[in-house]
Amino acid sequence: MSETNTIVKVRNLKKYFELRKGFLSIGKDITYVKAVDGVDFDMRSGEILGLVGESGCGKTTVGRLLTRLEDPTDGFVFFLGRDIALIEGQDVKVFRRNIQMVFQDPYESLNPRTTVTQTIMEPLLNHHIGESPEERLEMVVQAMEDAGLAPAKEYLNRFPHELSGGQRQRVAIARALAVKPRVIVADEPVSMLDVSIRAGVLNLMLDLREKYGIPYLFITHDIAVARYISDRMAVMYLGRVVELAETDEVISNPKHPYTQALLLAVPVPDPDAKHGRIDIKGEVPSAADIPLGCRFRPRCPKAFKGCGWEARDFIDWLGEKGYLAEDNKLRQAIASFHPDGFVLRMTVNDGADPNAVVDLVKDLVAEGRRAHPLLDSVEVIDTLMTDRVIEIDCRPAPISADALAAELFTLLESTVAYEEPDHPMHGIIADMRLEKNRLIVSVGDDAQNLKLAEAFLEDYIRHHRRRNRPEFKGVKSISASPANMTVTLTCVASKEPAVKTAEDVAAHIEKRLAAEGTGDLAKSTLPIETKKKRVRVRILGPESNWSRLLEALKELVTANRKEDEGFAQRVSRIRIKTVKKPQKTVATKFIRAEEPPLFDVGEGHQVACYLFKGGRLGQPPATERGSGQPWA
């Protein structure tokens, strides 16, 4: 694995904390604080990666996930090719030795009752490093001298309270260094230190990198510090990395509107430096209630049509423009607003005519269209029949051994990019092929590689089985054959649970409806919901839309097309179900947008912003843009 230079690989990492609201919330949906919500980055050997963001953006949690002080809700951290969530038993100790942490507060991270020697010696003893006490003492002295506590003799028997803040942080660094880790995670290591001391600790960290080539993840809120110390920089906002590039590139050529605003806000120690301002709107939203689409959109000065505007933005806008004032026609016609993601349901007053409300909303949307990109992203405004829902009941589906192997093959191919040079399996896995119910992974010629690949695949299957692919228990055996240099995964027939098939069916319907050219039918269909083994579909507009949609769905499931194969046996019944008393309702549906992934804009510069979709540098095409930009 020595040829790969990626030490840590973080993929789609998530950490949700449950938010308990007391006993009144029992039975209600649990809300989660999404501290980390899909983070991707790599750490390369010998490199300092700066993780920058405002307080509450999740940067500290990322550090804690990397060191396994927290378990992720989803996603992976690969450390030297292994998924750290799967490291067990004795290996945990090895892992902990290899990834060390330096904490923010040197007044709290050192035990006040142990001397410097004891503090630094402890990890050596824990990990059985060093043959004799003398040797260990020598290591302690070496680590201290490396950390700039020289002459070490003077400090060996001191207690933390006998040291200054800078010296304490040096002890913490020496403690991390003593076990010769492969990675150091440093969480705000200088923010508690006095300005005149800070530079010394930063320089020390740079020198140590120079000397030992240890990569750091340097977590900080201070962009100037990150600029000074890091080679690459990842900017986080509300649980996600929004921009990632070489540090100089981020500083001199920031692309994401958030990064731009952040950089303009940093004060400069020079009274003549006049700096501009982009005032982004409002405050960071709560991590328990993250905006859909691009999460920076509500504050973004450059947001446009395709950023994922949602119902509550519309309500805010209505309020701002005075449509919700008591004497407004719209307000008088509507009894209540029910924002739900990309759909806004409005319950119409008894006396009012829903169709008139539809026209009213259409008019005001048409009027405001050029002024605010939000209105540009209105897809459909129509009445909604609330008394019915199309329910598709799903059942567990048997999955043949061959199909399972095929599915596994697709998954491995799409997620294990062993052909990329920085993938941990690069140079280890040479090829994968499918043979009926067996998946054969061939390995480059090295017995060591065979073992690594086997361990990796075992971890991989186990991980997916635990998370959301229970059908992988049909992977009966994983066997390495040194003769052929292959690892063979043999599958037997298995069963997909109904919950899983329901998800499949929902995804399938969504995809097909969009592709089918059903035009207004797909447009008017509300986002598809799954509840356990049931898929629920609703559509805007008159009765006739419902029957058409039902027909279309039946056809989708029963059709004997190749790509639809198997859906008939996953669905037990499709019907329109009457759910409650009809209510006069009008709904506005907005163009749906997913969270923007990191788009590559060249030379390793990645930006999570739809302005850069497809690596395009610059502005969105005029058609997508609305007029006012930046809008105010």
Partner 1 sequence: MVLLEVDDLKVHFEIQDGWVKAVDGVSFSIDSGETMGLVGESGCGKTTAAYAITQLLPPNGRIIGGRIFFKEPPRVAAYRKEYDEKLKESPKARQRELSRVKRKLDRVDQAIGGSAPEVEELKDRLAALNYSFDLIGLSKRKDGSLDDYNEEIRKIRWTQISMIFQGAMNAFNPVFKVGDQIVEAITLHEDVEESVARERARELFEFVGIAPDRIDNYPHEFSGGMKQRAMIALALALNPSFIIADEPTTALDVITQDRILAEIKRLQEQLKMAMMIITHDVSVVAEVSDKIGVMYAGLIMEIGQASQVFKNTAHPYTAGLLGSFPSIKGEKRRLVSIPGFPPDLVSPPTGCPFHPRCQYAQKRCREERPEGVTIEPGHVSYCHFANKLWEKLRRTA
Q: Which of 72, 166, 239, 306 binds partner 1 (CB under 8 A)?
A: 166
Q: Which is nearer to partner 1, 201 or 389 (CB)?
A: 201
Q: Which of 30, 69, 94, 224 binds partner 1 (CB under 8 A)?
A: 224
Contact call for residue 326 and partner 1 (CB under 8 A) = no
All residues at 6 or more sequence positions from 346 whose CB lies less than 8 Å from its CB, including other chains: 334, 336, 337, 338, 357, 361, 585, 586, 587, 588
- The residue range among 14-22, 42-50, 165-173, 497-505 that interacts with partner 1, by the rule CB under 8 A, is 165-173
CA-closest candidate to residue 195, choices 157, 169, 166, 173: 166
Min. distance of Cβ 194 from partner 1 in angstroms? 4
CB-based burial label for 4 (10 Å; 0-12, 13-18, 19+): buried
Min. distance of Cβ 67 from partner 1 in angstroms? 25
Q: Which of 65, 185, 223, 348 binds partner 1 (CB under 8 A)?
A: 223
Phi, psi of 313 (to 5 degrees): -60, -40
Contact call for residue 543 and partner 1 (CB under 8 A) = no
b/e sequence 453-465, b meaning 16+ C-beta within 10 Å: bbbbbebbbbebe
Residues of this chain, 47-106, that bind partner 1 according to CB under 8 A: 54-55
Q: Which is nearer to partner 1, 190 or 389 (CB)?
A: 190
Residues of this chain, 438-477, that bind partner 1 according to CB under 8 A: none
Min. distance of Cβ 167 from partner 1 in angstroms? 8
The residue type at 174: A
Min. distance of Cβ 265 from partner 1 in angstroms? 4
Q: Which of 154, 194, 563, 565 binds partner 1 (CB under 8 A)?
A: 194
- CA gap 575, 566 in Å, rounded: 19
Q: Which of 112, 269, 351, 618 binds partner 1 (CB under 8 A)?
A: 269
- The residue range among 110-118, 221-229, 336-344, 381-389 that interacts with partner 1, by the rule CB under 8 A, is 221-229
Q: Which is nearer to partner 1, 49 or 99 (CB)?
A: 49
Q: Which is nearer to partner 1, 14 or 168 (CB)?
A: 168
Contact call for residue 35 and partner 1 (CB under 8 A) = no
Q: Which of 26, 88, 89, 195 binds partner 1 (CB under 8 A)?
A: 195
CA-closest candidate to residue 146, choices 124, 167, 123, 177: 177
Min. distance of Cβ 187 from partner 1 in angstroms? 17
Say if residues 444 and 432 touch (Cβ distance below 8 Å).
Answer: no
Min. distance of Cβ 606 from partner 1 in angstroms? 20
Rama region for 501: left / alpha / beta (φ>0; ψ in -120 to 50; rest): alpha
Residue with tokens 């492969």: 182
Element (H, E) at 499: helix 498-515
Say if residues 211 and 177 touch (Cβ distance below 8 Å).
Answer: no
* Tokens at 423, concatenated: 């993938």
- CA gap 237, 56 in Å, rounded: 9
* Tokens at 579, concatenated: 């759910």
Min. distance of Cβ 97 from partner 1 in angstroms? 30
Say if residues 509 and 538 touch (Cβ distance below 8 Å).
Answer: no
Min. distance of Cβ 137 from partner 1 in angstroms? 26
Residues of this chain, 200-219, that bind partner 1 according to CB under 8 A: 200-203
∠ CA 51-55-59, nearest 5°, is 30
3-state secondary structure of 297: helix
Q: Which of 9, 14, 34, 198 binds partner 1 (CB under 8 A)?
A: 198
Min. distance of Cβ 315 from partner 1 in angstroms? 17
- CA gap 609, 612 in Å, rounded: 6
Contact call for residue 280 and partner 1 (CB under 8 A) = yes
* Tokens at 438, concatenated: 């067996």
Say if residues 144 and 152 touch (Cβ distance below 8 Å).
Answer: yes
Residues of this chain, 495-534, that bind partner 1 according to CB under 8 A: none
Q: Which is nearer to partner 1, 164 or 415 (CB)?
A: 164
Q: Which of 87, 156, 199, 411 binds partner 1 (CB under 8 A)?
A: 199
- Within 13 A of 455's CA, how many CA atoms are on the CB side? 19
* Tokens at 205, concatenated: 């960290």
Min. distance of Cβ 22 from partner 1 in angstroms? 17
Count of residues engaged in binding partner 1, rule: CB under 8 A: 42
Min. distance of Cβ 225 from partner 1 in angstroms? 5
Min. distance of Cβ 222 from partner 1 in angstroms? 8
Q: Which of 1, 86, 156, 197 binds partner 1 (CB under 8 A)?
A: 197
| Distances from the Cα of 184 to the Cα of 110, 135, 216, 295, 423, angstroms | 17, 23, 5, 30, 21
Residues of this chain, 228-267, that bind partner 1 according to CB under 8 A: 228, 248, 251, 261-267
Min. distance of Cβ 625 from partner 1 in angstroms? 25
The footprint of partner 1 (CB under 8 A) covers 54-55, 164-167, 194-203, 221-225, 227-228, 248, 251, 261-273, 277, 279-280, 283
